[in-house]
Chains A and B, each alone.
Chain A
Amino acid sequence: MTERSVFRASDLIRSATFGLRSRKLRAALSAAAVAIGIAAVVGVLGITRSSESALLAEIDRTGTNMLVVTNGQSLSGQETELPATAPGMIGRTAGVTAVAPTAELTGYSVFRTDKMPGYATNGLDLRACGPGLLAAVGGALRAGAFRAATGRYPLAVLGYQAAVSLGIARPGERFWAAGPSGGGAWLTAAGILSPVPLAPELDTSVLVGFPAAAALFGYDGHPSRIYVRTVTDQTAQAAALLAPAAWPDHPEQVQVSQPSAALTARLAVQNSSTTLFLGLGAIAILAGGLGIANVMVISVLERRGEIGLRRALGAARGHVGAQFITEAVLLSALGGASGIAIGAAVVTGVAKAHGWAVLLPADSLWGSLGVAVAVGALAGCYPALRAARLAPAQALRGTG
């Protein structure tokens, strides 16, 4: 004798979408605010992740196991000498896999011709190096050869920026290395490097081999900057050992740095600005939720007749409430889905423009949809409660 009123889930969805379909413009407008918020969040996350991916790929490629040993007592930006024994000692330190010493030839400048006055400078350094440098810093050649330039001939490899400054586009061109006392030597470009992210000082350097440096510029065998590669998970331990190894008498004068730390710091900076934008997106979503709540409250007032009819047809209070909450959730989810689509389109456009890989973190997409649904459910609570509490007799009379 006790039949209970039943509202099938499929009928609930149908009734809720019917409510939305019969007020299309209003539904679209109230979903728009949520869409904007979600689009902002997806866009910010996607753009950050895509640009990070470029940075992460760079870190991956260059590795985090490189250390640089310099003399910490440098004067006016010029590198100063380390003991000549340093490279050998470092090479025997535990965890070290490669050592590439270089020496800045202080006082030398590099010009296109020998007609430049002696006091002129252009920010380019002349640097002596060994054949292992390119591998140790993870550098690549844009053109020409590297190893051939590290012998005793007057050949040089140009850093990327140095080649641009000198106007040298291909190997084979000659340029002038001016000495501090008016002398100098003609060098021939043998190769040009790509930018080296972990050793940006090489970009503005002209590299010559140790034998040539000794012959042409009086290089004395003291390195000033030593690039060291270590076993990746022993980098920290090796870093602690490098100073005493490089200069046993004055380890306090030796500075050991890890260039990849700068790249990881850039990631951290990006992440902190992302948080700000995500906060703004969250505020937009909140405003969207309030909009939906507002529209639903109006909807309950307008649809008193429908509510009364549904109660007369056998709807329980909960059924009416469920219908309105479902409408709010659908509305918000609709906004969320279009927001994801807009955000994804923006990310794709921006990433393509910068040449990044398009990365849309899946968890952020599902997360946004989840947030939209939760916002809809919250926004629908109060209107649904009002609809459910409406006395059927009063609802039917309200429009009569």
Chain B
Amino acid sequence: MTFSAAAPSADGSAGVSAFFPVLELDRVSKSYPGTPGALRDVSLTVHGGELIAITGPSGSGKSTLVHLMAALDRPTTGEIRITGQPVARLGDRALAGLRAYRIGMVFQQFFLMDQLTAIENVATGLLYRGIPAAARRRAAAGLLCRIGLAHRMRHKAGQLSGGERQRVAIARAVVGEPAIVIADEPTGNLDSASGATVMRLLTQLNAEGTTVVIVTHDPAVAAAAHRQVTIRDGQVHPGTPAQPATAEGTP
């Protein structure tokens, strides 16, 4: 288990530094009546600077876990804290603020707006922060140059290859320098070569200080992580010890 030496930048991640918990799940349960994928009593802590992989077969509750981690849903019981903020006590606007400032999401099916250019898609990562459009574009352009997509910047998302699309989606997730990036099967719709470039980008970003959680069923992808957590039938698998949340003593 090796943590990146580089501390996350203070800006955006709002004082979260390496080794402090960014995301804490404390005995969390979530069930959807009549559908599989319920979670039972899951405890999990993600520290700043970590690259963690959550693996498990389909129907194991991975998607549910993703939505809870990304503050898109609230648990039935248990507590979730994102950068120390208990999700349960936040109203819709504050929860949305948490997603806008602290969380970046990457989806298996990219969710890019095909009619917009790569740069415009990346800029939407800052859409709900009240930043003027010109400043959003500047940040997006700078990031695309940094990750080697400068030449595709003005292409419509619909014209990009799958690997490029996912890299643009990753750029959208990290353009606001969130405390944590949650990638849900980021290579699931890609061939192995494109999947490899996407993984290289995620590990590169992690090396630069971004905290990354990758949810995948692909062992090869999971192997790139510092730490693996397996989930099966809605529970963290006993074979891979997940660190329990330390509710007290966290900033």
Contacts and interface: CB of A to CB of B under 8 A. Distances in A.
Nearest to A392: B72
B177 to A, nearest CB: 13
A5 B70 contact: no
Contacts of B72: 308, 311-312, 392-393, 396
A316 B133 contact: no
Interface string A379-400: 0000000000001110011011
A318 interface: yes
Contact of B92 (A310, A317, A397): A317
Given A391-B73, A392-B67, A400-B108, A315 B130 contact: no
Interface in A351-400: 391-393, 396-397, 399-400
Interface residues of B, number: 39
A278 B197 CA distance: 64
Given A318-B93, A393-B67, A308 B129 contact: no
Most chain B CB atoms below 10 A, which of A10, A22, A316, A318: A316
A3 interface: yes
Interface residues of A, number: 36
B100 A314 contact: yes
Contacts of A15: 127
Interface string A151-172: 0000000000000000000000
B101 A316 contact: no
Contacts of B246: none
A314 to B, nearest CB: 2
A52 interface: no
A216 to B, nearest CB: 91
A5 B100 contact: yes
A235 B124 CA distance: 74
Most chain B CB atoms below 10 A, which of A306, A308, A309, A310: A309
Contacts of B132: 8
B99 A311 contact: yes
Contacts of A308: 72, 111
B80 to A, nearest CB: 14
A319 B128 contact: yes
B127 A313 contact: yes
Contact of B99 (A5, A7, A21, A399): A5
Most chain B CB atoms below 10 A, which of A14, A18, A400: A400
Contact of A6 (B70, B128, B133, B172): B128
B46 to A, nearest CB: 18
Nearest to A22: B115
A245 B95 CA distance: 90
B194 interface: no
A313 B84 CA distance: 20
A11 B134 CA distance: 11
Contacts of A14: 133
A21 B129 CA distance: 24
Nearest to B169: A309
B127 A11 contact: yes
B97 interface: yes
A314 B99 contact: yes
A4 interface: yes
Contacts of A120: none
Contacts of A6: 100, 128-130
Interface in B105-139: 105, 107-109, 111, 113, 115-116, 124-125, 127-130, 132-133
A2 B99 contact: no
Nearest to B113: A306
Contacts of A392: 67, 72-73
B68 to A, nearest CB: 9
A305 interface: yes
Contact of B96 (A1, A22, A311, A391): A311
B63 interface: yes
Nearest to B73: A393
B31 interface: no
Interface string A1-31: 1111111101100110010011000000000
A397 B58 CA distance: 14
B235 interface: no
Given A3-B100, A393-B67, A400-B108, A314 B92 contact: no
Contact of A312 (B70, B83, B84, B94): B70
A2 B73 CA distance: 18
B14 interface: yes
A3 B111 contact: no
Contacts of B103: 312
Contact of A5 (B93, B116, B133): B93
A17 to B, nearest CB: 12
Nearest to B132: A8
Nearest to B91: A316
Contact of A314 (B109, B113, B116, B127): B127
Given A312-B70, A392-B73, A393-B72, 12 more contacts: A3-B101, A4-B94, A5-B129, A6-B129, A6-B130, A305-B109, A306-B113, A314-B99, A315-B100, A316-B93, A316-B97, A396-B107
20 contacts: A2-B94, A3-B100, A7-B128, A10-B133, A18-B115, A21-B115, A308-B111, A309-B111, A311-B72, A311-B99, A313-B99, A313-B124, A313-B125, A314-B99, A314-B100, A315-B127, A316-B97, A393-B64, A393-B72, A400-B107
- Top 7 A-B residue pairs of the complex, sorted by shortest distance between their CB atoms: A314-B100, A6-B130, A314-B128, A5-B96, A316-B96, A393-B67, A392-B72
